[in-house]
Structure 1
Amino acid sequence: MKRSTWTGLLMGVTVGLLGLSIPSHAQEATSTLDSIRERGEIRLGHRLSSIPFSYLDEKGKVMGYSHDLAMHVVEAIRGRLRQPDLRVEMVPITSGNRFRLIKKGEIDFECGSTTHNTTRAREVAFSTSIFIIGTRLLTRRDAGISDFDDLDGRRVVTTAGTTSERLLREMKEGHASGLTLITARDHGESFLTLETGRADAFMLDDALLYGEVAKSTHPEDWIVTGTPRSFEAYGCMLRKDDPDMKALIDDTLRKLMASGEAERIYTRWFMRPIPPNNLNLNFPLSTSMRELFRTPNDKPFQ
């Protein structure tokens, strides 16, 4: 066989192989809604101990403010796909693995207590904001800590992978060089570190700190204090570059806010007794939250 013939055959094989690679690229570009339709199941990420946003009750059932919002999104997906009995697989996530699970497609979305900021938005997408918080401190009433200036020489715990960890490291490199930073796997472990005396204060989002007080044995022993070091917006997290999924989640959340249902869900979790100890967080809707419900947006604070 002539050399030119071999060359032509090799080029044909190469082109054929390149053509075979096209479906894999197309598969990578499949939207979340298409993936849900194909597998017949929604994979919803949830937190284990982010009270009152997304956590487990005594029987292992997922509940919370963010989870209630997520279930409205689930119903919207069922309606869009015309599959009212579409299954939901509840996938537990942590601060450390949530971004990886979204990017790998192991969860379709999550609504918990994930801060939307510009750095994270380079890797994943965020919905219309669902909550606005300030990062503060939880400490014993008699600890002698009232603000962040009191932390030099103290042991401060926070949950690994959170914005509070970054802020504490910045503080340690700055004026509070005597601060000892402790990180824990999740919010429950962080509070246990504080409760057992291995830390003097626990830094986190204020609403989550109130949640830890709510599940403590002696809530009267604790106080949330300090001038917020940052204000942050929570959003539901989803895969980047998936406009159909984002539009569905955003539309669902905006309708909940416009109808007043979002505020009713807020009242249930922040102004009434909640599991596990039936303590009322007594955390009224802030001015920032009222403005969010009035004019929903997906803008990060940083």
Structure 2
Amino acid sequence: MRRAVLLALTLSFALVAAPVAADTLNRILDSGEIRLGHRTDAVPLSYVDGAGQPQGYSVMICRALTARLADALGMEKLTPVWVPLDAQSRFDAVAEGRVDLHCGAATITLSRRERVDFSIPTFIDGTAVLLAGEGDTAFEDLDGKRLGVRGETTTEEILRNSLKAAGLEAEVITFSTFRDGVAAMAKGDLDAFFGDQLQLFGLAISGDLPDSLRISDDTLTVEKHGLVLQRGDSDFRLAVDRGLSALYQDGDMARIFRNTMPDIEAGAALRMLFILAPEVF
């Protein structure tokens, strides 16, 4: 019976010339569970609250998506199983099949797509700089300085490439967590800390950003985020993208943003994403 439901779902999701393996959808139907990876420290996108429960914009998207997938699969109940991941383990967890989706803060890049796949974009962010003191600081002013960044992230890669392109010499110090980097800035161990603008704003709004530090007005990049899933499972990706498209079309994505980040105003790029992202059904 479950295989019949899956066959009907696959046919309804797309007109294809030949059937394609849908291992994740089969496993979800058999187990009644979907394994969702989440971050613990990527405020306000994906983190854990005081009770240890997953929260944030990406987490709420995955909760809403789970309900959409359950309806599409004809399941009365689909149970999300939350798996905490960090920046270093998130892509391995997806590639090795330990989670079905990563609901965190993951920039879509071509190099990452060599290992994993991504959904349609769910968010747009950019790299900003955390600085001490007042006044404007140009990128060239960071020559010879101590610069912090979270390790094994696109932000680290962007920082190193930008320094090389500008012909600047600086000491790049990597941190395992975002908060560790901010703490180093507060102690004066760094001259600047590079990170996702939204996460920096999240710290400021929550009161966890020291008053002595300020966030740069401009971003160095524009980065699209997406949910992460295994490569080669086109049926599951199509199901995810259809569910996300429905969330965009119904206005749920914009509502999730407002509910999870009430003190942050969506930028022009994100507002356009809420309008343009839905795929044609």
Normalising by structure 1, report the TM-score: 0.79
Aligned residues: 259
* Aligned pair partner of 1:159 in 130, 139, 150: 150
Which consecutive unaligned segments of at least 5 residues does structure 1 have?
1-28, 273-279
Pair 1:205 & 2:186 matched: no
Pair 1:63 & 2:63 matched: no
1:183-194 aligned at under 5 Å gives the runs 183-194=174-185
Pair 1:86 & 2:67 matched: no
Instruction: Specify whether residues 164 and 193 from structure 1 end up closer, same or farther in structure 2 by C-alpha distance, changes over 3 A only.
Output: same
Cross-structure match for 2:269: 288
* Aligned pair partner of 2:92 in 73, 93, 100: 100
| CA contact 1:147–1:225 (8 Å) conserved in 2 | no
| CA contact 2:43–2:199 (8 Å) conserved in 1 | yes
State the secondary structure of the residue aligned to 1:115: coil
| CA contact 1:129–1:297 (8 Å) conserved in 2 | no
Give the distance between the partners of 2:278 and 2:108, measured in 1 at CA. Answer: 12
Give the distance between the partners of 2:141 and 2:204, measured in 1 at CA. Answer: 21
1:1-302 aligned at under 5 Å gives the runs 31-142=23-134, 146-175=137-166, 177-217=168-208, 219-225=210-216, 227-270=218-261, 272=262, 280=263, 283-296=264-277
Q: Residue deviations 1:151-207, cap 9 Å, x none?
A: 112211111111110122223434353311111112222222222322222111211
Normalising by structure 2, report the TM-score: 0.84
Give the distance between the partners of 1:227 and 1:176, measured in 2 at CA. Answer: 21
Cross-structure match for 2:17: none
Cross-structure match for 1:26: none
Give the distance between the partners of 2:127 and 2:278, measured in 1 at CA. Answer: 21
How far did 1:37 drift?
2.4
| Percent sequence identity over aligned pairs | 29
* RMSD after superposition: 2.1
Moved more, 181-190 or 207-216: 207-216
Which consecutive unaligned segments of at least 5 residues does structure 2 have?
1-20
Give the distance between the partners of 1:182 and 1:128, measured in 2 at CA. Answer: 33
Instruction: Specify whether residues 176 and 220 from structure 1 end up closer, same or farther in structure 2 by C-alpha distance, changes over 3 A only.
Output: farther
Moved more, 65-74 or 210-219: 210-219
The amino acid that maps onto 2:71 is: G
How far did 1:47 drift?
0.5
Larger Rg: 1
| CA contact 1:147–1:227 (8 Å) conserved in 2 | no
